[in-house]
Amino acid sequence: MFKELLSQRLSALFVGGWLLLNFPLLALWDVDATWGGVPVFPAALFILWVVLIAAIAWLIERPVTRTKDE
Amino acid sequence: MLSPWIVVGTSFAYLLLLFAVAYFGDWRAAQGRSVIANPWTYALSLAVYCTAWTYFGSVGRAASGGVWFLPIYLGPTLAMVLGWVVLRKMIRIAKTYRITSIADFIGSRYGKSPLLAGLVALIAVVGIVPYIALQLKAVSAGFALLTLAPAAAPAPQAHWSQDSTFTWPWRWRVSPWFLARAIWTRPKGTRDWWLPLRLSRWSN
């Protein structure tokens, strides 16, 4: 379902990731605080990275034709 | 401090292991039970992105500048978002026309121009020289770190033309082994006149 929109979704994710990992928005995390002992800025970068990879995996691996096998 | 022979021996053993893995991959593919045609293998093979820069440069940057070692990994991840759209198309074109280098790729996209392909190869060579130098310097620095006694005074700085980091690659590059490899790996069915400019492929 919606397979034809995959390229568009990936392009949107690319633009979103580009904005989130560049400076006007990245400055949101540039604060003098820690989350459980970890400085916020590196923690936010790593979390954004994981979220980006998870989003790619979700978009690419979503069962489209797999419903037949299940 | 390790004996240089242990370091060299381990390096060659690792190289042999890589050849064994490649041989195994080809053997399985020939039997029709490929382990290469697998998304996990493909994704893990992208780890070739980690070069000497990863182990020396990134660690150094992390030590000196904190989190700013990260963008060099965030960038490719972001680029891979478009991998399905862009890379797939590039791979399809490369397979159809048996293209193995960026110079031939760009040349073939613009009217199979050999002049343009040569220009791209030239720019790629100039661009990659500092990067190759960095890899070689890292290898020789790593070798020195492993083989020299920790307290030993650093060897006096030789003139750059006498530096083994500089002289060794030239001995390799003109060795028959490298020339033979360069000839074997050229694209099938093409008469590849740009062979001497393909430093980027030789160094892979």
Instruction: Give chain B as a 3 state SS string.
Output: CCCHHHHHHHHHHHHHHHHHHHHHHHHHHHCCCCCCCCHHHHHHHHHHHCCHHHHHHHHHHHHHHHHHHCHHHHHHHHHHHCHHHHHHHHHHHHHHCCCCCHHHHHHHHCCCCHHHHHHHHHHHHHHHHHHHHHHHHHHHHHHHHHHCCCCCCCCCCCCCCCCHHHHHHHHHHCCHHHHHHHHHCCCCCCCCCCHHHCHHHHCC
What A37-43 contacts at long range (C-beta under 8 Å, 24+ apart), as own/partner pairs, is: A41/B67, A42/B66, A42/B67, A42/B70
* A41 in reach of chain B (CB within 8 A): yes
Question: Tokens 């996209």 map to which residue?
Answer: B109
Q: Is the pLDDT of residue B141 over 70?
A: yes
Amino acid letter, residue B151: A
Q: Is the pLDDT of residue A51 over 90?
A: yes
CB contact under 8 A, B67 and A14: no
Determine, yes or no, domain membership for A66.
no
Average pLDDT over residues A12-16: 89
Mean pLDDT of chain A: 80
Q: pLDDT digits over B160-201, tens only?
A: 666 666 666 665 555 555 555 555 555 544 444 444 444 444
Whole-angstrom Cα Rg for chain A = 16
Determine, yes or no, domain membership for A55.
yes
Average pLDDT over residues A1-20: 81
Report pLDDT for B190. 47
Q: Is the pLDDT of residue B107 over 90?
A: no
Report pLDDT for B131. 83
A50-54, B68-72, B99-103, B157-161: range with lowest mean pLDDT? B157-161
- Asked casually if ipTM beats, i.e. exceeds, 0.85, the reply is no
Q: pLDDT digits over B146-159, tens only?
A: 888 766 555 666 67
Specify the higher pLDDT residue, B109 or B126: B126
In chain B, residues with a C-beta closer than 8 Å to the C-beta of A56 are: 80-81
Half-sphere CA count of B4, side-chain side, radius 13 A = 4
Report pLDDT for B182. 56
CB contact under 8 A, B78 and A17: yes
Question: Tokens 């540039």 map to which residue?
Answer: A30
Specify the higher pLDDT residue, B65 or A68: B65
Measured CA to CA, the distance from residue B47 to residue B73 in angstroms comes to: 11
CB contact under 8 A, B70 and A11: no
Measured CA to CA, the distance from residue B76 to residue B129 in angstroms comes to: 21
Determine, yes or no, domain membership for A56.
yes
Mean pLDDT of chain B: 77
Q: How many folded domains does chain A comprise?
A: 1
- Is residue A62 within 8 A of residue A2, CB to CB? The reply is no
Specify the higher pLDDT residue, B132 or B169: B132
Nearest-CA distance from B128 to chain A in Å? 26
Report pLDDT for B58. 86
Record the pTM: 0.66
Token pair recorded at residue B12: 């060659």
Determine, yes or no, domain membership for A28.
yes
Q: Which residue range is the domain that position A43 belongs to?
A: 9-61
Specify the higher pLDDT residue, B64 or A33: B64
Determine, yes or no, domain membership for A35.
yes
Determine, yes or no, domain membership for A40.
yes
Closest Cβ opposite residue B85 in set A10, A45, A52: A10
What residues have CB less than 8 Å from B10, skipping those under 6 apart?
Answer: none
In chain B, residues with a C-beta closer than 8 Å to the C-beta of A6 are: 84
Determine, yes or no, domain membership for A15.
yes
